[in-house]
Structures are given as structure tokens and as C-alpha cells.
Amino acid sequence: MKILRIIARLNVGGPARHVIWLTEGLKPAGYETLLVAGVVPPGEDDMSYVAAAAGLQPFILAEMSREISVKDVLTIWKLFRLMRRERPDIVHTHTAKAGTVGRVAGLMYRWLTPAAPAARQCRFVHTYHGHVFHSYYGRLKTRLFLAIERFLARFATDRIVVISEQQRREINEVFRVGRRKQFAVIPLGIDMGAYASWRDRRPRMRAELKLNDDVVLIGIVGRLTEIKNHRLFLQAAALLKKNTGSKVRFAIIGDGNLRRDLEDQAKSLGLSEDVSFLGTRTDPEDFYPALDIVALTSLNEGTPLTLIEAMANARPVISTAVGGVVDMLGPQVPPAAKQDNQRAAYQLCQRGVSVASGDAEGLARGLARLIEDPGLRDELGRNGFEFVIRNYAKERLLTDIAKLYRDLAQTESVRRPAEPPNENLESRV
């Protein structure tokens, strides 16, 4: 079965890792995949090295960018020609921009390819890793994108994949995109083996930061962009420093266009000696074990890979209650008899602590609770680890996606005549 997999760009983040894992992992099962990606723009870190390590060479469309551009017309045309050349059985798009240009090209492929049964039989799948229906753009732009998504879901999509039930309810029921029967909930998956020896690796980054064992290190992992709302993290850090005498340090892991602004904010809040900006790191197997608490402050999320990886290292997590995070943290824990009188500022859940989006005070109080209660940190870490092991293994992800493809094709395999290697693919497109 031939798959054309399209993503807007292989920048640092969960979607890039996801498409690489799928492209590599499905190959032994007989799925031939061509991975297509746009160019990572200046100011964002490129994860092409992950593809290279997996032995993959993505086909790069230089015209495909994150923002709306006149180049999108050329991108659609090139994708249309690529579909005609490759004759895929399934086109699977990931992220908003790739989902738009890929499915518009798919409409052209289906209806503008004369005398081509393969075009009619091709199936189109789109995965929402998150969505742009709030907190990204202004009202008019958001309404435009929502209208486009509704149109594409109706006329150019056979299956819509979401990564949590919470995300399915939000996209389908709140924003009225797609029909219920189109949706498939397929959670993310990661390579659990990479974190098997996390206990042995815990000292590595702590030694780099010259931290003693009694220092509580709170970390946040992600791109330094507006949607991740690192400003909230720094505001809570300042409140925590003011209101507690605990020995606490903070680490911001990631890079992006807001780094200088966030460094200035940390300085203005008196946190210059307390916060370490570590930039983009390629050693999650080392930095997660070094953290005592992992925080997430996003305004909008699908299912964040950073929380899955934190739980895979048995790290306790605290997060704003957005998108698929709600499913990850689990049900709220009933209040105990001896509960602090500030409980309303945060919610203790089965696998982490939940706070309202934008609530710096609630985040600070939730962090204080975790700092003061090592036993609670251990319990949440164990619960999260067991949850991830059961639900987020890469093998389960590959099995689910393979079943989705088989169901769409209505056959175990699709046999086509052998074609010569695509050595000159770029010139043909």
C-alpha cells in the first residue's frame, strides 16, 4: 500500500516526530511511504536530523510554509502533480497548512485526473495534532480557517484522526467540523525504550546545572511561541519565589521567536539567577529525568508530547486544562479531609495537577503543593508512568494506523505494478 504523508514542516515538536515514526515504523508491514514536508522557517529549529537518523529522506516542497501565501497555489499544483506521479492509495495530511493544501490538491487529483481509477479510489486522511480554532489568530482569520476546515471535512476527507476524545468533542461538537462517523480517536505513541533507564540518567543534566539533590527543578519543554504561554510560567515562578522559602530552580527547554522577550521578562521579575534558558536540546532521555516537576502552560493543545514523555520518565506534571490535556491528567481526586484552603486555585487529578488557563496564582499554588509533598510527586509520577505504558506505546500507534489504512482500503494490501525508483522526483514535480 502506497502512502503519501504530508506535513507543513519538520520543526521541533510532536507532529514532526509523529510523522517520522509512522513513516519508519509502518515500512516493515508493507506500507511504502513518501514523506513530504515544507521548509522550516528562520527562527525555528529543524528536526530533519531525526528523519536522517531513521534513514528517511523527506521530499521537500520549498513553497510550503506555515502562513497563508500566494505560494500556496504553487504548492497545491506541485502536490497535485506528485499525486498523479505516485498514484498513492492513501494521502495522509498532518497539521493545519498541510491539511489545507494537501486536501485541495486531493480534490483536484480525484476530479481532474481523466481516466484514472486510482485517483477515484485514493482515500484522504487528516490528523489534527491540535487546532487553530482559538488562541492563535484574530476573530476574522479564525472564522475563515474554520470555514475552510468545514468545507474540506465535508468534501475532501474520508477520515479525520484526533489524538484524544476531548479533542474529538471540541472539533466535532463545539466547532462543528466533520461528521461524527468520520472521526477516529488514535492517541500518540512514543518509543518507551528510550526512557527505560531514566533513573540512571537523572544526575547528568543536574550536574551540568550544578544542582544538589535537595534543589527542586521545575521545567517546561516546548517552542518559545505565543501559544505555549511561557509568560505564565515565569509569572508563577515569581509568585512561587515570593511566597515560599523552598529551594527551587526553573528550566526552560526550547527555543523560538520569544526567547529574548522571555529573558527580559525573567530579568524584570528578578528571576535571572533562578531560571535557566537551555535552548533546544536533543537529549530528552537526559533532561526529563533531571526535572522534579514538568509544567505546561499552553493556551491550546492537542495531546502534548512533552507530557507523554514526562510521564514516561515518571515525572509529576502540572498543566493548564486545555485540549487533550484533560484526558491525560485523568479524573479529579476527591478532596481529602485535610486539604489546604487554597485548593480551589488548582485541581488535583489522578495523573497530575490541573489549573485554569492563564491563572498564574493557581499555577503557583499547584506548584507549591507539589514542592511541599514529595510523596504526592512520587504517586503522580507512578500513575502517569503506568498510564503511558498502557496507552502511548509506539507499537500501539502503528497498529492503530495500519488498521485505519486497511479499513479505508477495504483490503489487506493493494498490489500495483512495480515502478522505477524515483531518483529524479524533484525534477518531475
> Is the pTM above the cut of 0.85?
no
Write down the H helix ranges in 256-324: 259-268, 284-290, 305-312
Asked if residue 267 is part of any domain, the answer here is: yes
State whether residue 90 is helix, strand or coil. strand
Q: What is the pLDDT of residue 426?
A: 46
Relative to beta strand 317-320, strand 293-296 is parallel
Identify whether residues 246 and 305 lie together within a single domain: yes
Mean pLDDT of 162-179: 91
Q: Measured on CA atoms in the order 321, 295, 379, 374, is the torsion positive or negative?
A: negative
Number of domains in the chain: 2
Is 58's pLDDT higher than 90? Answer: yes
Asked if residue 104 is part of any domain, the answer here is: yes
Contacts of 17 (CB under 8 A, 6+ apart): 47, 50, 190, 305
Hey, what's the cell of 184? 477516529
Identify whether residues 30 and 58 lie together within a single domain: yes
Identify whether residues 72 and 138 lie together within a single domain: yes
Residue with cell 507549591: 368
Q: What is the pLDDT of residue 113?
A: 84
Alpha-carbon distance 3 to 264, whole Å?
Answer: 46
Is 258's pLDDT higher than 80? Answer: yes
Residue 356: which domain range?
A: 193-391
260 vs 196 pLDDT, higher one? 260
Identify whether residues 283 and 407 lie together within a single domain: no
Identify whether residues 61 and 183 lie together within a single domain: yes
Rg, C-alpha atoms of the chain = 22
Q: Which long-range contacts (CB under 8 A, 24 or more apart) does 267-270 make?
A: 269/234, 269/235, 269/237, 269/238, 270/238, 270/241
- The answer to whether 277 and 284 have CB atoms below 8 angstroms apart is no
Asked if residue 425 is part of any domain, the answer here is: no
Identify whether residues 410 and 378 lie together within a single domain: no
Identify whether residues 209 and 311 lie together within a single domain: yes
Contacts of 199 (CB under 8 A, 6+ apart): 289
pLDDT band at 27, cuts 50/70/90?
A: very high
Asked if residue 229 is part of any domain, the answer here is: yes
Q: What is the pLDDT of residue 342?
A: 53
Q: Which residue type does 327 have?
A: D
Hey, what's the cell of 293? 516537576
Q: What is the pLDDT of residue 229?
A: 96
Asked if residue 237 is part of any domain, the answer here is: yes
Identify whether residues 39 and 127 lie together within a single domain: yes
Asked if residue 424 is part of any domain, the answer here is: no
Contacts of 29 (CB under 8 A, 6+ apart): 398, 402
Q: What is the pLDDT of residues 72-123, one digit of tens each?
A: 999 999 999 999 999 999 999 998 899 999 999 999 999 888 766 778 889 9
Identify whether residues 160 and 258 lie together within a single domain: no
Identify whether residues 373 and 325 lie together within a single domain: yes
Q: What is the pLDDT of residue 11?
A: 85
Asked if residue 88 is part of any domain, the answer here is: yes
Mean pLDDT of 152-172: 93
Identify whether residues 253 and 289 lie together within a single domain: yes
Closest CA to 93 of 82, 84, 102: 102
Q: What is the pLDDT of residue 246?
A: 66
Is 425's pLDDT higher than 70? Answer: no
Mean pLDDT of 358-375: 95
pLDDT band at 419, cuts 50/70/90?
A: very low
Share of the chain above pLDDT 70, in %: 92
Strand order from edge to edge, sheet including 59-60: 59-60, 32-38, 2-9, 90-94, 123-128, 159-162, 183-185
Closest CA to 105 of 78, 71, 145: 78
Identify whether residues 377 and 397 lie together within a single domain: no
Q: What is the pLDDT of residues 331-352, one digit of tens each?
A: 999 876 445 545 568 999 999 9
CATH number of the domain where residue 53 is located: 3.40.50.2000
Mean pLDDT of 196-212: 92
User: Chain-wide mean pLDDT for the chain?
Assistant: 89
Asked if residue 173 is part of any domain, the answer here is: yes
